[in-house]
């Protein structure tokens, strides 16, 4: 399910959070699916349960998952996760575009750069 890249310098909870978010957004973890318990995931990844708990807590704050006391954590319903991520990415894109414009790159040049990156 999740693989941790230990060569990445980011904190482990961020890597776990990003991996889960990617699985949710890609549909690999569909809406309503139960996530592994904190303990189960900690054991499978051989990391501290507090690390998993922090990743789950942040994903819940961002609207990707919901926790039900005594039942576990579940992928949030209603497509809010995708909308939230799109809003976050749009904000980042706007900031990046402003930075490009500040160094003299036109919008058409930015569009050309994006076209070069297409798979």
Same domain, 21 and 65: yes
pLDDT at 116 > cutoff 90: no
Domain that holds residue 49: 12-78
Residue 85, burial from CB neighbour count under 10 angstroms (0-12, 13-18, 19+)? middle
Tell me the average pLDDT across 30-58: 95
Per-residue pLDDT, 114: 87
Tell me the pLDDT of the chain averaged across its residues: 89
Question: Is 55 found in the same domain as 101?
Answer: no
Q: Are residues 20 and 42 in the same domain?
A: yes
pLDDT tens digit string along 51-88?
999 999 999 998 889 999 999 999 988 766 667 777 88
Q: What is the pLDDT of residue 84?
A: 72
Residues 57 and 96 in one domain: no
Distance CA 79, CA 44 (A): 28
Q: E-assigned strands of the chain?
A: 65-68, 72-75
Q: How many separate domains does the chain show?
A: 2
Whether 66 and 103 share a structural domain = no
Same domain, yes or no: 87 and 30: no
Task: Note whether 25 and 62 are same-domain residues.
Answer: yes
**16 and 61 both lie in a single domain:** yes
Q: What is the CATH number of the domain that holds 51?
A: 1.10.10.10
Considering the entire predicted model, what is its pTM?
Answer: 0.71
Mean pLDDT of 8-31: 91
């Amino acid at each position: 399910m999740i693989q941790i890249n230990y060569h990445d310098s980011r904190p482990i909870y961020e890597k776990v959070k990003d991996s889960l978010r990617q699985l949710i957004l890609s549909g690999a973890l569909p809406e309503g699916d139960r996530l592994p318990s904190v303990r189960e995931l900690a054991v499978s990844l051989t990391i501290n349960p507090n690390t998993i708990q922090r990743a789950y807590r942040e994903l819940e704050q961002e609207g990707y998952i919901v926790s039900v006391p005594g039942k576990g954590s579940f992928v949030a319903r209603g497509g809010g996760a995708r909308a939230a991520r799109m809003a976050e990415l749009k904000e980042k894109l706007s900031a990046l575009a402003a930075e490009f414009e500040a160094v003299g790159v036109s919008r058409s040049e930015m569009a050309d750069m994006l076209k070069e990156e297409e798979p």
